[in-house]
Structure 1
Amino acid sequence: MILLKDILYKVTIESVVGNTSVAVNNLEFDSRKVSLNDIFVALKGTVSDGHQFIKKAADQGALAIICETLPDNIVNGITYVQVVDTHKALAIMAANFYGNPSEDLKLVGITGTNGKTTISTLLYKLFKKAGMEVGLISTVNIMVGDTEHKTSHTTPDSITINYYLRKMVDAGVEFCFMEVSSHGIHQKRTEALQFAGGVYTNLSHDHLDYHKDFAEYRDVKKSFFDNLPKAAFALVNADDKNGAVMLQNTKAKKQTYALKTFADFKAQILESQFSGQLIKIDNQELWVKLIGGFNVYNLLAIYGTAQLLGLKELETLQLISTLDSVDGRFQYLISEKKITAIVDYAHTPDALKNVLETINSIRTGNEEVITVVGCGGDRDTSKRPVMGKIAATLSTKVVFTSDNPRTENPDRIIEQVEAGVPAEHYKKTISITNRKEAIKAACQMANENDIILIAGKGHETYQEINGERFDFDDFKIVKEVLTLLNK
């Protein structure tokens, strides 16, 4: 049994109507899930306002309502708590409801435009190989030890985060690695969590459909580091121009990693192939299976984090050399006809540029690079022509196609991507809206030793069209097509 007043501990309250010394059952922000003796928190969202559903929650048996504006009709027997910010209140209440589990393990948040999933997932794998009990909260899944749970958001809601952190603590988990998105920070989902450390990867063009402008996007990321406690560490990419910005007001221990500039953790690329690369980290040479300069940054962030959490240097390097790429992140296969197909989640201009530059730095120059790419619907439209320009400039041939069009017309999205193609590159591009047909066309164009890049969806096993999700797996499809062409 837990009392409402205990769940409200540390919440900034403006007014209370009713009794807070009442035992409550559960905490909900979705009125459809409310049942007898639950607390309903009315959140103002981008699509709807939870305050519109206060009556519904009351009718379904809510014992307490947390809101920013008290309703006109106060129902007897229900406690109404008016707060300044229901998003922040929900985060604090969720942490209290589950016994503040983030205080009982070492929670590390990874934020930035690119690399969050790779870093968090590989940290999980590395610490697991080191014999630790580990948890993971990522775009792809939530792991409680060895048990996998599916997720639908990069940073889940506050209740979900604390629910799984409590499961982790109960299962004896010592470390948890968590992706922290700008949406999650902005919507206060990470408030009231105690972080042992924060990692910053980079900042580039993304999510400007949600944030007003790039400055707001940057400042939201920065606020995560501003709020880290003194006992935590803040590890940032010193080669990224916004790395120093992240450290400006943090109370945490400031640490840096870099390939090009002075930093606490340094790396150097010595040799690159499609099978891996020889790198040097803090003057120790090692062969790693991950490809590309962007992955060296990821591995350096992993190395630095492991060192700051107390792992030994040589053990960390040995474990890094065993790590495989994450599904949908530079995931590749080589067909019988020696065609290399690479599937990558690159869905931002910077990520696409990184992947194509990596491919071009490894290839001999005699092979063609055939890129299949599109842009998601209902998202930042300004990056579309930029993606088109990058794909056309850095590839030999390009097939523009549909990504997750969501509620938009896929042909219209493709037109906006094509608009960025420089005139001298027109002839190397074609457009095929059907993504499966586009992948087939790329495979048919490819000859021995050519390289096909299928960008944008990576690990996703669906395509989202008009509110429905259809089974679609880039890696599975390209593998099937290339196998058929070999016959």
Structure 2
Amino acid sequence: MKVTDLIDVLKMKKLIGSLDPELNIGKISQDSRDIQSGDLFICIDGTQVDGHNYVETAGANGAGVIVAHKDIQKAAANVPVVYVPDTGKAMSLLANHFYGYPSESMKVIGVTGTNGKTTVTYLVEAILKAMDKKTGLMGTIEMHIGDEVHKTKNTTPDSITMQKALHLMTERETEYFTLELSSIALEMGRAWGLDLDVAVMTNLTHEHMEFHHTMAAYAEAKKLLFSQLGNGRKNGRTKAAILNADDETIHSYRIATAAEVISYSVKDETADFFATDITYSRTQTRFNLVVNGERYPVVTNLVGLYNVSNTLAALAAVYALGIPLEDATKAVTSLAGVIGRLEIVPGANDIGVYVDFAHSPDAMEKVLGVVREFTQGRVISVFGGAGEREHEKRPIMARIGTELSDYVILTTDDTGKEPQEQIIAMMLAGIEKDNYEYIENRKEAIQHAIAIAEPGDTVILLGRGHEADYNDRGTMIRLLDSEVAAEAIELRNEQKV
């Protein structure tokens, strides 16, 4: 793309130097190390790194033009600089234009909320795939383009990465794109330029206070998704906001959007999508979906009341896109499960072993409540507190864990560079019972939990879910809870022979 065509998308700008009208921009990047001859380098002032400090590197690597919002003239030397008020917003505008506005050619479902985002996106994808639709997905665990799987670094990537991925999806003729949108990503503008059809809110509970500082600011960040739905139609289609009527914040989100609202609930029968006659076992949940007075039987392989809520959100989202409920409800069973979300670790014949990503007080309370429902013996939980983030939730989660479990093994969880002694001290401050022990090494803690489990017990490994990269005092190692548990189960079985 010609540099002048690209830069023209920015309304408010000041050019220092002259642009070569014949220059073709090869790519846009915020990483100076990635710049090659003729590329556009955009300076992003991030939470850890300020791109304005790497202008000389970008220039030395051949940048054809630099976009900035701080004075970099001396470092830029002879490279033309386009100054803008906000490089974050400029990056989203430039990336969207550079890659041809890919989200306009597909139906886009954005999912936000404290808990349940991953499960809802996987459910939506599974339902659409069962309808033989061409799908794409982006979220915490991975990115999907049809049946292709790509690992991801963040729940929601930066706008360049997102638009590049969407462009690839359009080349594969993707019809539906579902993605998770974290509050941090929304506040940082990573979703700017994304043309949404449906926005889904799962719930709002305590999380990300190290970034937002207050629950009010956290809630406002989530609202950005619903204001982004806009006030018009997309390719002749009306847009929709899917809101949880069981969450007390629903009213504030309802008035934040001009789109039609579809509510869902497991408690309020006046909601648009209501679940009744709910029953569940260790491996399945059944309920009747009530919409406009019609009943649709639903069977899902996801367990627990909160997963009924997640299923309702997914069904409402695909319904808003025109998928018949008769087909959608039958397709729910096509999702066997979600990695790290109450994931069963197979092989244990006399006990249950599960891995779950629950790392907030609300998520932990819900998961332990579900596990208690189907456990005949003891509930043994293993969890720690992540380092360098959200100190205030550590004692709360420790209290919930010891109150809702029969026995707890406290351990580590991504300590980072924070002393583990400090983390465990904060956790212990919230505990009033004596039904716990502390094993610092997480692998040993998991092994011990499975070794002491008796027939009928359930062992639940909390906090990390699908995560395999473990930050041990600043050193990254591989530690996947399900792998450690599988090895411990094998050893347990051998000892019982």
TM-score, normalised with respect to structure 2: 0.94
The total of aligned residue pairs comes to: 481
- Which residue number in structure 2 is paired with residue 65 of structure 1? 66
* 1:243 CA drift (Å): 2.1
Contact 1:113 1:206 in 2 (8 A): yes
Residue 389 of structure 1: CA displacement? 0.6
Q: Which amino acid aligns with 2:300?
A: V
Whole-Å Cα distance in 2 between the matches of residues 109 and 435 of structure 1?
34
Q: Is 1:478 the counterpart of 2:485 in the alignment?
A: yes
Structure 1 residues 1-20: aligned runs within 5 Å: 2-20=1-19
Contact 2:126 2:332 in 1 (8 A): no
- In structure 2, list runs of 5 or more residues that go unmatched: 234-238
* SS across alignment from 1:73: helix
Task: Quote the offset at 1:79 in angstroms.
Answer: 2.0
Distance in 2 between residues matched to 1:54 and 1:478, nearest whole Å: 47
Find out whether 1:375 has 2:355 as its counterpart. Answer: no
Aligned match of 2:205:
204
Separation in structure 2 between the aligned mates of residue 269 and residue 205 of structure 1, nearest angstrom: 30
8 Å CA contact retained: 2:285, 2:299: yes
Give the counterpart letter for 2:105 in structure 1: D
Say yes or no: does 1:341 pair with 2:340.
no
Which residue number in structure 1 is paired with residue 456 of structure 2? 449
Aligned to 1:398: 408
Q: CA deviation at 1:74?
A: 7.2
Distance in 2 (alpha carbons) for counterparts of 1:353 and 1:319: 29
* Paired letter, 1:446: A
Cα displacement (A) at 1:443:
1.3
**In 2, distance between residues paired with 1:332 and 1:75?**
55
In structure 1, the residue matched to 2:370 is 358
User: What pairs up with 1:59-458 in 2 under 5 angstroms?
Assistant: 59-73=60-74, 77-230=78-231, 231=233, 232-261=239-268, 262-282=270-290, 283-333=295-345, 335-364=347-376, 367-422=377-432, 425=433, 427-458=434-465
Change (3 A) 1:12 1:383: farther
Letter matched to residue 383 of structure 1: K
In structure 2, relative to structure 1, the CA distance for the partners of 1:469 and 1:78 (3 Å cut) is same
Task: Look up the SS of the partner of 1:402 in the other structure.
Answer: strand
Query: Contact conserved, 1:121 with 1:138, CA < 8 A, in 2?
Result: no
C-alpha distance after superposition, 1:37-91 (max 9, x if no partner): 1111111111221111122211221111111123242756522111111011001
Aligned to 1:38: 39
**Aligned counterparts of 1:395 and 1:184: Cα–Cα separation in 2:** 34
SS at match of 1:350: helix
Aligned to 2:469: 462
Gaps of 5+ in 1: none
Tell me the distance in 1 between the aligned counterparts of 2:8 and 2:378.
61
Q: How many Å separate the matches in 1 of 2:471 and 2:33? A: 24
Q: For the structure 1 residues 67 and 334, does the alpha-carbon distance in structure 2 shift closer, same or farther, using more than 3 Å as the test?
A: closer
Q: For the Cα contact (< 8 Å) 2:137–2:178, is it kept in 1?
A: yes
In the TM superposition, residue 32 of structure 1 has moved relative to its aligned partner by 1.4
* AA partner of residue 482 (structure 1): I
Q: Select between 315-324 and 83-92 the one with higher mean Cα deviation.
A: 315-324
What is the rounded CA distance, in whole Å, between the counterparts of 2:278 and 2:351 in structure 1?
A: 25
Q: Decide whether the 8 Å contact of 1:462 with 1:473 is kept in 2.
A: yes
Q: Distance in 1 between matches of 2:17 and 2:78?
A: 7
C-alpha distance in structure 2 between counterparts of 1:353 and 1:269, whole Å: 23
Counterpart residue number, 2:236: none
> Aligned partners of 1:249, 1:117: CA distance in 2, in Å?
23
Contact 1:41 1:67 (C-alpha < 8 Å) held by counterparts: yes
Which amino acid letter does the alignment assign opposite residue 87 of structure 1?
A: G
Give the drift of 1:451. Answer: 0.8
Offset, 1:270? 2.5
TM-score (norm 1): 0.95
State the one-letter code of the partner of 2:26.
N
* Deviation for aligned residue 1:462: 2.7
Query: Helix, strand or coil: the match of 1:24?
Result: coil
Specify the code of the residue in structure 1 equivalent to 2:342: F
Q: Distance in 1 between matches of 2:151 and 2:475?
A: 18
Q: In the aligned structure 1, how far is the partner of 2:8 from the partner of 2:194? A: 14
Letter in 2 for 1:485: R
**CA contact under 8 A between 2:346 and 2:486: conserved in structure 1?**
no
**Change in 2 beyond 3 A, CA 1:76/1:207:** closer
Change (3 A) 1:400 1:139: same
Distance 2:139 2:77 in 1: 42
RMSD across aligned C-alpha pairs, in angstroms? 1.6
Asked if 1 retains the 8 angstrom alpha-carbon contact of 2:345 and 2:485, the reply is: no
Q: Deviations over 1:347-370 (max 9, x none)?
A: 111100000111123334xx1111
Measure, in 1, the Cα distance between the counterparts of 2:70 and 2:300. 55
Q: Deviations over 1:181-228 (max 9, x none)?
A: 111111111001111111000011111111121111110110111121
Residues 1:179 and 1:9: Cα distance change in structure 2 (over 3 Å): farther
Q: How far, CA to CA, are the matches of 1:69 and 1:105 in structure 2?
A: 36
Q: Is the CA contact 1:12–1:84 (under 8 Å) kept in the aligned structure 2?
A: no
* Larger mean Cα displacement after TM superposition, 406-415 or 106-115: 406-415
User: What CA distance in whole angstroms lies between the structure 2 residues aligned with 1:180 and 1:78?
Assistant: 35
Instruction: Give distance in 2, aligned partners of 1:111 and 1:41.
Output: 28
Give deviations 1:155-199, integer Å, cap 9, x for gaps.
011111011100100101000000101111111110011111110
Deviations 1:247-298 (CA, angstroms, capped at 9, x unpaired): 2121222111111122111112522210212211122223321101110011
- Tell me the distance in 2 between the aligned counterparts of 1:52 and 1:209: 25
Cα shift readout 1:84-111 (whole Å, capped 9, x = no counterpart): 1101100111111111101111111100
Is the contact between residue 269 and residue 277 of structure 1 (CA under 8 Å) also seen in structure 2? Answer: no
Q: Distance in 1 between matches of 2:298 and 2:77?
A: 68
Please give the alpha-carbon distance, in whole angstroms, between the structure 2 residues aligned to 1:253 and 1:73. Answer: 51
Q: What CA distance in whole angstroms lies between the structure 2 residues aligned with 1:188 and 1:337?
A: 48
SS across alignment from 1:268? strand
